[in-house]
Structure 1
Amino acid sequence: MIGGVDTHRDTHHAAVIDSTGGLLADAEFPATTAGYAELLAWMRSFGRLLAVGVEGTGSYGADLARHLTSAKVTIVEVDRPDRRTRRTKGKSDPIDAIAAARATLAGTAMGTPKTRTGPVEAIRALRVARQGAVKARTAAINQMRGLVTAAPERLRAQLTKLSAAVLIKRCATLAHDPAMLHDPEHATAATLAGLARRATALTEEITTLDRQLTPLVRRAAPRTSALFGVGTDVAAQLLTTAGDNPDRLRSEAALAHLCGAAPIPASSGRVRRHRLHRGGDRGANHALHTIALCRLRYDQRTRAYQQRRVSEGLSKQEILRCLKRYIVRDVYTALRADFAALTP
């Protein structure tokens, strides 16, 4: 038997099919520990359960995937149906659960979900807070610059053309009269001071999170962290992309595809070419981009490679794509070695 599950916040809809794809039954279960146990017992009541295709193993289905993994059930990560399929076949929980089971049976869904039970999941959770703080700080700084642009001349003169750090420092000391907030200059000064305090608090939060992340990342991936151009945040992103079970990445090419760094064939007729891969984990692709830029600036071997490829007629963007693919090779080797050392 093959199972399929369409996951939601409060309930999961499950379906069971036989070896020819015929539907045996479908049912809905609560998204709780008791519900997961009931779902698994219900599926096994139809026969030997070979695998279960689960939608959303990184969100609503994460806890269900952990439960099934602990019960030694083979789990396959299933992508949600595309718009064309839903236009032709419709959309409902039973339809999605049956489609997940049939995709697993047909082999069109073959992804192995992350286990989310080890140190990498802890790193991912901390990075969620860090990314949110960085985004909020950037927004606060942009708001401050926007206010300065339209501020009265006295404020604009002393706050124009400053770095972000200096701007925050100066705005934090701006004086204003609470009784004069009807005046644009006092209101702008009060707003800038408040935004500066927000940016300062966010900077302190980011610093605290970096102190928490650094030892975790170095302990989980010492070889990856030691690669040229890989800092704490980049290493944390690469670990998050790989997950706690890197054996799901069957090869270096699989990691390149996951990171959006694998060239995609785009040939037709006599034309033989490849194009940019716009899929994959964009955070991991950005991490590879950061490593490539760092090496282009500071690594002599990478600079020599760039000069050679420029002489061959490649553009800067094409060279960056080539470098990302080569960097994946280093990252894959380091990640496998790191996780092999962690595995008892």
Structure 2
Amino acid sequence: MIVIGVDAHKATHTAAAVNGLTAELLGDVTVKARQHGHAQLLAWASGLDEQRVWAIEDCRILSSGLERALLEAGEHVLRVPPKLMANQRKSERTFSKSDPIDALAIARAAIREPNLPSAVLPGIEHEIGLLVDHRDDLVKESTGYQRRLRWHLHQLDPEYEIPAQGFTNPSNVDKVGRRLQRMEQVTQVRICRDLVRRIRELNKYANELRKEIGRLVRQTHPELLAIPGIGILCAGSIIAEVDGIGRFRTEAQLASYAGVAPLDASSGRQQRHRLNRTGNRKLNRALHIVAVTQIRVYPPATEYYERRKTEGKSNREALRTLKRHLARRVFNTLQIQTA
């Protein structure tokens, strides 16, 4: 069996094939990142070995087209986190960097890590992920406009107090808009009115996207919302980043993928674990938000958190154990729904 590592770029894809047992380089090739290039890559791989696994750096903005072509052709595709590839490249004898070197590092990282998630054809999870990411972009854009509006308003009237909920509340945006209408229409006031208009439009669209995400989550994974602390947006992020629970054979694999499985850092008589800084950071962030929310509003989670602290764990360590527990619960919930 061979493992083919692929370093994907916007214009080209570079592949390196290695022996699945010895990790010895068998050859590499660079093709155009187009449909005919995908066909060339498949033909090249077919001439090497019929038993093969593809390992692609997990950067789906660049690799989604190739992933789809390989999956539709019946190929087995693994996703390799960029950090694993970078760590593998650092361990090589050469300090050079090129696309063939990166592709080789991806292939060898896939051999070293046996529990990498498999890629699947885009489904409803992909659609939810697109909506979640688009809404996040709109919220960030609106937040930037809100910061600029605050400074302009302070310069125009230092005594004016921004309402407590800021400009996420539509009524507050409307109040500021009416106040600006009554002022002399100097340049700075006109800029503020333009910012108000943009904020109003972005907030409205973000709210519409939230409703759409909510409908899709309730249609596909309603049981996920039954877990205390998981709201519409966190559920959407979890669904999108898990991208099909069938990719994970065990809950430990999901925990590792999310970066919530602690890493053993024991030495001699000292037995300890350290923070896992790898894994899918979006999924990790979603679990973090749920854990913090549960500690605040869900008594069983609060008791679990406090018990861990009485056992000698720090606040952060206790929070990490709760996130690990949540990963197990999310896995079991999604497994039941797909059964």
TM-score by length of 1: 0.85
Which runs of at least 4 in structure 1 moved beyond 6 Å after TM superposition?
none
- 1:58 aligns to what? 60
Q: For 1:79-228, what aligned pairs fall within 5 Å after superposition? A: 79=82, 80-82=85-87, 84-85=90-91, 88-104=94-110, 106-108=111-113, 111-149=116-154, 151-152=155-156, 155-160=157-162, 162-164=164-166, 165=169, 167-173=172-178, 174-175=180-181, 176-178=183-185, 180-181=186-187, 187=188, 189-228=189-228
SS in 2 for 1:88: coil
Distance 1:7 1:77 in 2: 12
Distance apart, 1:307 and its partner CA = 4.3
Q: 1:75–1:113: 8 Å Cα contact kept in structure 2?
A: yes
Q: How does 1:39-58 map to 2 (within 5 A)?
A: 39-56=41-58, 58=60
Within 2, Cα distance between the matches of 1:162 and 1:292?
26
Letter in 2 for 1:216: L
Residues 66 and 217 of structure 1: CA distance in aligned 2, closer, same or farther (over 3 Å) = same
Q: Note if contact 1:77-1:110 (Cα within 8 Å) is conserved in structure 2.
A: no
How far the C-alpha of 1:131 sits from its partner, in A, is: 0.5
The separation in 2 between residues aligned to 1:282 and 1:29, in whole angstroms, is 31
Distance 1:120 1:89 in 2: 39
Q: In the superposition, relative to structure 1, how do residues 10 and 309 fare at CA in structure 2: closer, same or farther (>3 Å)?
A: closer
> Counterpart amino acid of 1:59?
I
1:272 aligns with 2:278: no
The structure-2 alpha-carbon separation of the partners of 1:285 and 1:272, relative to structure 1 and needing over 3 Å to count, comes to: same
Aligned partner of 1:77 in structure 2 is 79
CA distance in 2, matches of 1:280, 1:328: 13
**SS where residue 61 of structure 1 aligns?**
helix
Structure 1 CA distance, aligned partners of 2:137 and 2:40?
A: 37
Which residue of structure 1 aligns with residue 253 of structure 2?
A: 254
> Structure 2 counterpart of 1:28, which letter?
T
The residue number in structure 2 matching 1:184 is: none
- Structure 2 distance, partners of 1:204, 1:227, is 28
Structure 2 residue runs without a partner (length 5+): none
1:65-118 alpha-carbon deviations (Å, 9 max, x no partner)? 2211222222233343346357824122233333434444x4446523432421
For residues 110 and 320 of structure 1, the distance between their equivalents in structure 2, rounded to whole angstroms, comes to 25
How many angstroms apart in 1 are the aligned matches of 2:313 and 2:28? 55
Q: Look up the SS of the partner of 2:160 in the other structure.
A: helix
Structure 1: runs of 5+ lacking an equivalent: 182-186
SS at match of 2:289: helix
- For residues 223 and 160 of structure 1, the distance between their equivalents in structure 2, rounded to whole angstroms, comes to 39
The 3-state SS of whatever aligns with 1:158 is coil
CA–CA separation in structure 2 for the residues paired with 1:282 and 1:326: 17
**What amino acid is aligned across from residue 198 of structure 1 in structure 2?**
R
For residue 230 of structure 1, what is the aligned residue in structure 2? 230
Give the fraction of aligned pairs with identical amino acids, expressed as a percent.
32
Compute the RMSD of aligned alpha carbons. 2.6
Once the two structures are TM-superposed, the CA of residue 295 in structure 1 deviates from its matched residue by: 2.2
Match of 2:240 in 1: 240
